[in-house]
Structure 1
Amino acid sequence: MSIGDQLEGFFLLQDAYAKTTMGGKPFLSMVLSDCTGTIDAQIWDYTGPITPKDDGAVVKIRGTVSEFKGTLQITVDRLRLADSNDQYNISDLVPTAPIDVEATWQKLQEIVDTIEDQDYMVICKEMLSRFGEKVKNIPAAKSIHHSFLNGLLMHTTYMLQTADFLAGMYESVIDRSLLIAGTLLHDFAKCEEFTTSPLGLVTDYSKKGQLLGHLVMGAHEVANVASEMHVPEEKSVLLQHLILSHHGEPEFGAAVQPMCAESELLSFVDMIDSRMEIYRETLEEVPAGEFSKRIFALDRRIYHHN
């Protein structure tokens, strides 16, 4: 898009915020997206019918590309919800993971099948039977990284491959079965933490997601499954610990700090994969030889070298 472009078409309403100008006039601030990315948009002197409750819906807009503080945005003139008579391709609107979904899903299962400890294996298999389809399809986040369909599958499988390699390198201190099980299950509760749109993208956090978070919810679910499967308490507690500590430090959302080698390694594997994905997504939009804008999750700009 270039400044001054006139456009009309369908977008995903990723976020909407009802606001008021300094002069007291209402307007709707939006984040619109399609499979190529996101852009901010505003429609002035607007009171509805579209509201923040329509987050995740498909909208049709007519507007003009403008600029604000060096960033492109859309000034919208007309806005409405898409209806059943409209013709558009969902695949043009919803970003999806840059992976072969079925091959990646098979890879995940192949790694899980190599878990030698039968107690950890039985927990993983039961959790996959309960949550596997959601894990395969949902995003891994609302915005920061892997926020596209099949994002959680991509994130989890890449982490499993990294964890598998590092478990071999540090086999003298790592219980591979525990590490692989914790890596598989570390984000499973995002299935219940998020609320999603009809198209499958994350629109908000559920009540339990906000009050408890996926670390606590995930540890609780694992504890229940371990009890049902008569897994020894020590193994159940260790697996719960990996889930509760995988964000590394309390300031990054960890319920507890890592206190065993497997939890320490899992927290680094999670950070590696999430940060590399942030780089990948950012560098796609930054020309070679230039710096990005400041990235909130990294608290810095990054350079796209030739």
Structure 2
Amino acid sequence: MDLLSIRDLKRVAGPVSQSVVFRAQLEKCLQKTTKTGNPFYELTFSDSEESLVLRVWNNSPMFDLCGQLRNGHFVEVSGEFGLGNDGRSIDGKTWKARVLNELETAEVLAGSESLRAKQEEDYSFIETSVAVILDPRLARLCGGFLEHYGERFKRTGAARDYHHARRGGLVEHVAQMMRSAVRICEAYPMLNRDLLVAGVLFHDIGKLWENVYEEKGFTMPYTEISELMGHIPLGMEIVNRLWRELLDEDDLRKEWGDLEPASERVRLHLLHLIASHHGELAFGSPVVPKTPEAQALHYIDNLDAKMEMYDRGYEVAPELGKNVYERVRPLPGRLIAPLQVFEQGNNASSEE
């Protein structure tokens, strides 16, 4: 049996069970009770890209096995899997699990080769984009952040659900937003490129405390500080702290004293981008976008999140009919397969 990722398992699962092997972390193993009082287990497995929930009923031969599994274990699961009766969930007909050794665990944590390569490329693009910032204050601020928090950044998700909800997902999200921001600045010269790139880097930086994964796992713990503050106030606080630390250096304070625009205005405009990036008060921003860069950041953020939802949806959503897929929340309706790009000569009349 070929080793599959959880995303691959979801993609290939059908009404007829098939032999499958996957490796993942057992994030949660909960014993629950049905409405009729029968016990069952609910297991959540997670790998570098997806999570999978399996329910094991008390009449299943795997029921006793579940009682031996422990939260946090990295395991290899092999058995017969297919779609459940609802046509959406994954059902394990028969399966077994073994705990992975240290080397196997490290491989699972690292993710697939393609994901590792993508995230490395994305992080390199972020570093390159920051390196060409001309404003010395924003350049030092962004560079200092990457130096101090880069490793934590690399294991943070962009969200708990919906988009880029995986270890390193925030790096992917920020890099793609930066690509869009650079191109949009070319189309709209009125935009301050340095400010917008810095805003992209810092807009979700509070998620390094809200959506960070454990150093050796796919569990995203809940913390008191993130629950009490939220990622927008946390991000503003981090930027303010980094800014103050830079100004504590006498040479920099003197060097920046006569720069235009004034350093205090630069700081305020950057904070405004973080504060307003959700776009509306109803969506959690304490203020609406009031500058061109803030408005651009809001749309760039929203666009990248939505495109990720579509991209993932086409891979894991059940196909309801030709070119029609199950709705992926929070998108507003069922997904329709995108129109293929036209290629010259790719038509029926040209075929021999």
Q: TM-score range by the shorter chain?
A: 0.7 to 0.9
Q: Which of the numbers 261, 274, 281 marks the counterpart of 2:305?
A: 274
Equivalent residue, structure 2, for 1:184: 201
Equivalent residue, structure 1, for 2:229: 212
Instruction: Give me the whole-angstrom Cα distance separating, in 2, the residues matched to 1:165 and 1:17.
Output: 48
Map 1:31-70; keep pairs closer than 5 Å.
31-34=44-47, 37-45=50-58, 48=67, 50=69, 54=71, 57-61=73-77, 64-65=80-81, 66-70=83-87
Matched position secondary structure for 2:273: helix
TM-aligned CA deviation for residue 302 of structure 1: 0.9
**What CA deviation, in whole Å up to 9, does each residue of 1:69-90 have, x standing for no partner?**
1124224767767254896773
Matched position secondary structure for 1:271: helix
Matched position secondary structure for 2:157: coil
Equivalent residue, structure 2, for 1:71: 88
Instruction: Give me the whole-angstrom Cα distance separating, in 2, the residues matched to 1:162 and 1:261.
Output: 15
Amino acid across the alignment from 1:290 = N
Map 1:1-306; keep pairs closer than 5 Å.
1-2=13-14, 3-5=16-18, 10-14=23-27, 16-34=29-47, 37-45=50-58, 48=67, 50=69, 54=71, 57-61=73-77, 64-65=80-81, 66-75=83-92, 82=99, 84=101, 90-91=107-108, 94=111, 97=115, 99-172=117-190, 174-230=191-247, 232-285=263-316, 289-305=322-338
List runs of 5+ in structure 2 lacking aligned partners.
1-12, 248-255, 257-262, 341-352
**What CA deviation, in whole Å up to 9, does each residue of 1:1-31 have, x standing for no partner?**
3434465664333555543201122322233
Instruction: Give me the whole-angstrom Cα distance separating, in 1, the residues matched to 2:29 and 2:284.
Output: 26
Matched position secondary structure for 1:273: helix
Amino acid across the alignment from 2:43 = M
Q: 1:299 to 1:50 in 2, by over 3 A?
A: farther
TM-score (norm: length of structure 2): 0.73
Structure whose CA Rg is larger: 2
Equivalent residue, structure 1, for 2:344: none
Matched position secondary structure for 1:68: coil
List runs of 5+ in structure 1 lacking aligned partners.
none
Q: 1:36 to 1:240 in 2, by over 3 A?
A: closer
Equivalent residue, structure 1, for 2:8: none
Instruction: Give me the whole-angstrom Cα distance separating, in 2, the residues matched to 1:98 and 1:83.
Output: 20
Equivalent residue, structure 1, for 2:348: none
- RMSD of equivalent CA atoms: 3.2
Instruction: Give me the whole-angstrom Cα distance separating, in 1, the residues matched to 2:52 and 2:172.
Output: 24
Instruction: Give me the whole-angstrom Cα distance separating, in 1, the residues matched to 2:285 and 2:85.
Output: 36
Amino acid across the alignment from 1:58 = F
Matched position secondary structure for 1:188: coil
Instruction: Give me the whole-angstrom Cα distance separating, in 1, the residues matched to 2:68 and 2:284.
Output: 37
